Structure 1
Amino acid sequence: MSSQPLPPVPPPQWVVALNSPMPRPTKAAASIPDPPGFTSSRQGGKNRSQQQSAASSAPAKPVETDTLKLKKAWEIALAPSKQIPMNGIMMYMSGNSLQIFSIMMVFMLFKGPIQGLISTNTVFAKFDTEGTRSKLLGVKAIYVVMQLLLLALGVWKVNAMGLLPTTRSDWLAWESERQPLERAYFALG
């Protein structure tokens, strides 16, 4: 018995198809029209590729760049306004009792705007250029107003829960009863 090497096993068909290049489209495939709004490189030819290269090589003007930066800055500045209705409904639905859920909701309501106010300059730093610096002040002001509105919503919720010391209560034991400076005596007769 001689030991002869086994002939190599051919790879499966899917491996061959994966490693071979795609076949060229036939004339039948070329006769299928493109979908609406699509122009293939076959029809556009060199004109389309020349237009693309010209458009990509032309630098954007600083005015156009500043306009785009201001537009994006306005989107960021107005983003907290989209949170106000959602947070208002959530605060209303969470109730006024002191529970872990309502306390965590109030904590998160205060945490977000405070962090937003602290990081106002860093949020808009990427949009700050010579052309946008004066216009960016108004954008920052609107951003701060939106954050303050969210904080006001948090103050409303804390007041609704009875945690703001707006009136004298028994839990404010350190506050003494206020005595009037003058006493008014009414004369009869």
Structure 2
Amino acid sequence: MAKNPPSKPPPPPQWVIDLNNPPRPKSKNTSIANPPGYIEAASSGKRSAVLSKTPARKPPTTAETDTLKLKKSWELAIAPAKALPMNAIMMYMSGNSLQIFSIMMVFMLFKNPIQGLLSTNEVFRRFETEGTKNQLWLVKACYVLMNCVALALGVWKVNGMGLLPTTRSDWLAWETERVPLERAVFAFR
């Protein structure tokens, strides 16, 4: 048998050729100016010169940093109040019957503010500096107040579900037994 001469492999597809050969940069003969802040990548020497000409941003002063920390701490202190409308609507929509959904909602309504109250100092520790220490107590007080309002919403819901013993009932030990209406004797005849 005669051997066939080795054949050439087929040429690669056009997309492979385009991928391996990126397009050449266009000449600078266009009449359109570069946008402000554009740095041409082809000339690295010019680029470093342009970058060195831009002024460096000065570091913020301690007063500016303290002001920014106080603003962020106030945002964090008001956060529980921002969730109140949504929680109130969800509590209203879940109804007053004892179902797993409403019980879970009430559990979460109590859990989050209690965790927030217990971790108040840890939450605001990152904002505490010598400049903000005197002003941070008011932020903490606001945070505690907002969490107490969220707890009050939970108490309202539990009362609406009938789980608070706020009305007279027969199962309370210190109350006297109620007399049914059928056995009651009327004073007038």
1:51 maps onto 2:50 in alignment: no
Partner of 1:31: 32
Partner of 2:169: 169
Tell me the distance in 2 between the aligned counterparts of 1:33 and 1:51.
18
Shift of 1:29: 6.0
Please give the secondary structure, in 1, of the residue aligned with 2:150: helix
Shift of 1:60: 1.8
Larger Rg: 2
**Which structure shows the bigger proportion of residues in helix conformation?**
1
1:30-88 Cα deviation digits (max 9, x unpaired):
72653xxx53236xx85665334x21xx3221111111111111111111111011111
1:70-128 Cα deviation digits (max 9, x unpaired):
11111111111110111111111111111111111101100111111111111111111
Tell me the distance in 2 between the aligned counterparts of 1:88 and 1:74.
23
Change (3 A) 1:130 1:175: same
Shift of 1:26: 2.8
Tell me the distance in 2 between the aligned counterparts of 1:49 and 1:22.
30
Change (3 A) 1:160 1:27: same
Partner of 2:113: 113
- The answer to whether the 8 A contact 1:77-1:143 is kept is yes
Partner of 1:63: 63
TM-score (norm 2): 0.74
Mark the runs of 5 or more structure 1 residues left unpaired by the alignment: 179-189
- The answer to whether the 8 A contact 1:168-1:175 is kept is no
Please give the secondary structure, in 1, of the residue aligned with 2:167: coil
Shift of 1:13: 5.4
Tell me the distance in 1 between the aligned counterparts of 2:168 and 2:84.
31
Tell me the distance in 1 between the aligned counterparts of 2:65 and 2:174.
62
Tell me the distance in 2 between the aligned counterparts of 1:59 and 1:11.
55
Please give the secondary structure, in 2, of the residue aligned with 1:27: coil
Number of residues of Structure 1 aligned to a counterpart in Structure 2: 169
- The answer to whether the 8 A contact 1:91-1:105 is kept is yes
CA RMSD in angstroms comes to 2.9
Tell me the distance in 1 between the aligned counterparts of 2:151 and 2:50.
57
Once superposed, which parts of structure 1, at least 4 consecutive aligned residues long, lie more than 6 Å away? 1-11
1:123 maps onto 2:123 in alignment: yes
Shift of 1:143: 0.8
Partner of 1:77: 77
Shift of 1:19: 5.8
Partner of 1:182: none
